Amino acid sequence: MKLTYLPDVEPRPRRVAIGTFDGVHQGHREVIGGADTVVTFDPHPQAVVAPGTQPKLLTTLSRKAELIASLGVQELVVIPFDGAFAERTATDFVDHVLVERVAATHVSVGENFRFGHKASGDAAMLSADERFETRVVPLLEVDGEVVSSSHIRGLVAGGAVHYADALLGAPFAVDGEVQHGDKRGRTLGFPTANLVPAPGYVVPGHGVYACRVRLPDGTLVPAATNVGVRPQFVTGRGELIEAFLIDWSGDLYGERIRVEFLRRLRGERRFESVEGLIEQMGRDVDEARGRAAG
């Protein structure tokens, strides 16, 4: 898939889906279906319009691009969203972005999509424009709940990653470079690959998870992963994502890996002894192995 920033777009007829698409969840996939081009915004518009109120994100731009590419989309057009763009009227957005630059013949949006200065444009405005055909996609509901990025953020933050994964259509994942930690895991018999959560992105609630880790060569390895601050030990360190790769050994320091979260196994807690912690970690590994294999 080709990634293009709006100033570099070459005009050609396009079937376009428009949205922020954080998470590229099942509802987003309904909107994107049938489009050859997706138009999105970076950074999140709320970070510009109302700084400090923007949500923590589910996906980086690169992860979003990867997920969108997996849907068969040919091109991702990224609008660099800044103060000047936020001032553009809804009419200007339609005339100069959709018609002039992107040359849209078909436009697909979710029913709650808003655009233009002070969010004055909506799906009805697009539907009334005869220069392109508009498809307005109703909000998707699963088990009586609307599938939304905000709902999924809450599930992930609460540790309910298996529910989040079902709504996302893919495992919730965190990418990052493996950092040096306290190396305490190896003294306990469970050496870990450590990621420092990136500011501004959702992190699963503290606890132990069954995961898969995608290595730089694409290999998937089952893992038992702790998210939190390690209450058994006073380290002075902040929040970490610590993945013990099951039945695998090697040096990953400085490498980029992806941790895919499958299910929360238990909460993070302090044990009466280090021996008790080690015994529980053994049980966590056994359960994580089974969950990742299933």
Contact 82, 177 (CB under 8 A): no
Q: What are phi and psi of 279, to 5 degrees?
A: -60, -45
Examine the domain organization and report whether 52 and 14 are in the same domain.
Answer: yes
Examine the domain organization and report whether 6 and 141 are in the same domain.
Answer: yes
How many domains, in total, are found in the chain? 2
118: exposed, middle or buried (C-beta count within 10 Å: 0-12, 13-18, 19+)? exposed
Residue 162 belongs to a domain: no
Examine the domain organization and report whether 117 and 176 are in the same domain.
Answer: no
Q: What is the CATH number of the domain that holds 213?
A: 2.40.30.30
Tell me the C-alpha distance between 256 and 181, whole Å.
15
Contact 44, 20 (CB under 8 A): yes
Look up tokens 């306990």; give the residue.
188
Beta bridge partners of 112: none
Query: What are the helix (H) ranges across the chain?
Result: 26-32, 45-49, 61-69, 83-86, 90-92, 123-127, 149-157, 161-168, 184-187, 274-293
Examine the domain organization and report whether 11 and 111 are in the same domain.
Answer: yes
Tell me the C-alpha distance between 31 and 110, whole Å.
6
Tell me the C-alpha distance between 291 and 294, whole Å.
5
pLDDT of residue 232: 46
User: Exposure string (b/e) for 130-139, b if CB count within 10 Å is 16 or more?
Assistant: eebebbbbee
Q: What is the CATH number of the domain that holds 60?
A: 3.40.50.620
Examine the domain organization and report whether 38 and 93 are in the same domain.
Answer: yes
Q: For 138-152, what is the HEC assignment? A: CCCEECCEECCHHHH
Examine the domain organization and report whether 85 and 188 are in the same domain.
Answer: no
Examine the domain organization and report whether 85 and 11 are in the same domain.
Answer: yes
Residue 286 belongs to a domain: yes
* DSSP 8-state symbol, 121: B
Contact 26, 101 (CB under 8 A): no
**Final residue of a domain: which of 90, 113, 146?**
146
Which strands, in side-by-side order, build the sheet including 256-266?
A: 172-177, 256-266, 207-214, 220-228, 240-245, 193-195
Residue 188 belongs to a domain: yes
13-47 tens-digit pLDDT: 999 999 999 999 999 999 999 999 999 999 999 99
Residue 216 belongs to a domain: yes
Residue 12 belongs to a domain: yes
Contact 272, 231 (CB under 8 A): no
**Final residue of a domain: which of 111, 146, 181?**
146
Residue 157 belongs to a domain: no
* C-alpha dihedral sign at 106, 74, 60, 49: negative
Examine the domain organization and report whether 40 and 140 are in the same domain.
Answer: yes
DSSP string, 215-239: -TTS-EEEEEEEEE--TTS------
Residue 158 belongs to a domain: no
Q: What are phi and psi of 114, to 5 degrees?
A: -125, 150
Residue 51 belongs to a domain: yes
Identify residue 274 by its one-letter amino acid code.
V
Distances (CA, A) of 280 to 252, 268, 275: 25, 11, 9
Tell me the C-alpha distance between 216 and 257, whole Å.
6
Examine the domain organization and report whether 192 and 269 are in the same domain.
Answer: yes
Examine the domain organization and report whether 128 and 188 are in the same domain.
Answer: no
Low-confidence residues of the chain: pLDDT under 70: 181-189, 230-237, 272, 294
Examine the domain organization and report whether 194 and 101 are in the same domain.
Answer: no
pLDDT of residue 140: 95
The boundaries of the domain holding residue 191 are 171-293
What global pTM score does this model have? 0.91
Apex 74 CA angle, 109 and 21, nearest 5: 35
Examine the domain organization and report whether 178 and 114 are in the same domain.
Answer: no
**Final residue of a domain: which of 130, 146, 162?**
146
pLDDT of residue 294: 64
pLDDT of residue 184: 52
3-state SS assignment for residue 199: coil
